[in-house]
Structures are given as C-alpha cells and as structure tokens.
Amino acid sequence: MRYLIAVLVFTGVLGCVSQKKYDDLLSEKLDLEKNLVNAQDSVETAIADISRLRKQVENLKSDTAGLGEYIRKDRRKLSALQKEHQQLQTYYDNLLNNSGQLSRDLAEQRERLLTLRENLEQTKKLLDERESKVQELEDVLAKKDAAVQELKKNITDALLNFKENDLTVTVKNGKVYVSLAEQLLFKSGSTVVDNKGQSALKQLAAAIKDQSDINIMVEGHTDDVPISGTSPYLKDNWDLSALRATSIIRILAGAGISTERITAAGRGEYFPVASNETATGRQKNRRTEIIITPNLDEIFEILETN
C-alpha cells in the first residue's frame, strides 16, 4: 500500500515509469477505492444494527419496568378482591342463620360470591404467570451481568502488563469497553499497528476468543485536528479512524476471533471524551474503543413469548 501511494504521489515524473506500469498502478488504485466504498457501506450497516440493538435493549428495560408495575397493580387488586371476598363470606354466613324470606338475597349473594371466586382464581393465575416471567427475566439479566463482570476480569487480568494511560477496561450499559490510547497502537497519522499494540490486541484476543456468545465492535476515534498531507485514501479523520479500526480487526481475527463476531466502525472526531481545546484532551480523544457486547437473544426470546 505504501508503495502504491508513493507511486501515485509522484506520477508527475512520468519519464521514470513505463506506461504499462502506470496503467497497472492506476487500475489497482481504482480497485482499492471501490473496496473502500464497500467497507464504508458495511460500516453504515453495522452502525444501523447497533442502533437497533440499543433500541431493543431500552425496550427490554421499559418492558421489565412495566411488568413490575403490572404485578404491583395486580397485587393491590388481589388484596381488594380478597377483602371483598371475606366480607361476602361473612355476609353469606349471616344469611344462613336468617329465615327463609332471605333466600332470594342469599341466592344472589351466592352467585356473586362464586363469580368473585372465579375472578380471584383468574387474577391469581395471571399474577403467578407474570411473576414467573419477571423472575425468568431477572435471572437471565443477572446471569448476563455476572458474565460481563467475569469477562471484564478476564480482560483486565490479560492486560495487566500495560499502563493505565495506555488502556482502560470498564463496564457500561451491560457492555465491556476496552479503550486503547493512540500511543499504544499507532504512530501519528498512521494506520499500521505498532508491535506493542499488536501484543496488546493478541493478549485481548486470547482472553475472549473462546467466548462464543459475544459480539465485538471496534471503534476508531480521533481529535479534531485535520490530518496532514493529501491521499486518495485518507481524506480526513473519518477515513483515518475507519482504516485504523479495520487494521485492528484483522489482528484480532488473525489471533483467533471469528470474523462473524467483529465489526469495524470509524467515528472520526465526532464522539470526543474530552475537550479538544487542550493537548491533554486531544490525546484522550485519539483512541480506539473495543466494545464487547453479550448476546441478548435469550432475553428477546423471553419477551417474545410474553
């Protein structure tokens, strides 16, 4: 790739390159630009999938809260029905001691009592079903949370030999975020991962490659300083962040992680974690985030059967 860019930059010196070689290089350049467009389409699709997944998770949280409210309402309804049932039972018992002239009232109250009993049984059955569903959801969510914490621990243990200012491992919104600073992975403006960065990525891959129930998003981030120089492949920070992300996923895939579980995304300068007004802030913004998400299919299946 470096050889091709060098040739394209100096195409003005045609006397040093044969026409056939120039044509071959031009053809290869067009093929690479086409591949870049296809890669950008894949990134847009992946971002749309992430948005859909986040919306589904928010809906899950809302549905779980809704089920809890339904249970509280049904408990209040059940308590009121039980109280009314007791009152009617007392009234019914009193009617049994009265004379035959009260037989009509007795029959009416008996009918009402039977109806209330049926409603009470139906309400209790519905309440039991909802409690079972909520318990099942809580058990699955607890299992997922425990798995995420265990995954964080494994990743942290695998990367203990790296400095905190080079990488951090955190849990947020049920996902594990591995944030790697630019100085660990790349030289300024480069998309080639340094040896130290490759070592960190391989250690990370070794810790998670056997986890079959996770998905991995690699997000490249930059500061807001425009890239220097001109290139048909690196027009701006967005291109830089995307190509850095794809460089990283190739290393992860080469270290044993299934390519079906990895997605690359270039976020450019648009999701800073600090102000770009200071050198320290810009350094924090030049990072790569590897976001590891547990598979939520089991939770969605429970909700679909509700």
pLDDT surpassing 70 at residue 3: no
pTM > 0.95: yes or no = no
Can you give the pLDDT at residue 288? 96
pLDDT tens for each residue of 13-64: 445 568 888 888 889 889 888 888 888 888 788 788 778 878 886 787 777 7
Say which residues have a Cβ less than 8 Å from residue 135's Cβ, sequence separation at least 6.
Answer: none
Is the pLDDT assigned to residue 77 strictly greater than 90? Answer: no
Q: What is the pLDDT of residues 189-236, one digit of tens each?
A: 899 999 999 999 999 999 999 888 899 999 999 999 998 766 777 889
Hey, what's the torsion of the CAs at 10, 16, 20, 26, to 10 degrees?
0
Q: What is the dihedral of CA 167, 172, 175, 179, to 10 degrees?
A: -20
pLDDT of residue 16: 59
For residue 9, the model assigns a pLDDT of 46
State how far the Cα of 101 lies from the Cα of 80, in Å rounded to an integer. Answer: 31
The C-alpha atoms of residue 34 and residue 11 are separated, in whole angstroms, by: 21
What percent of the chain has a predicted confidence (pLDDT) above 70?
87
Token match 């071959």: residue? 24
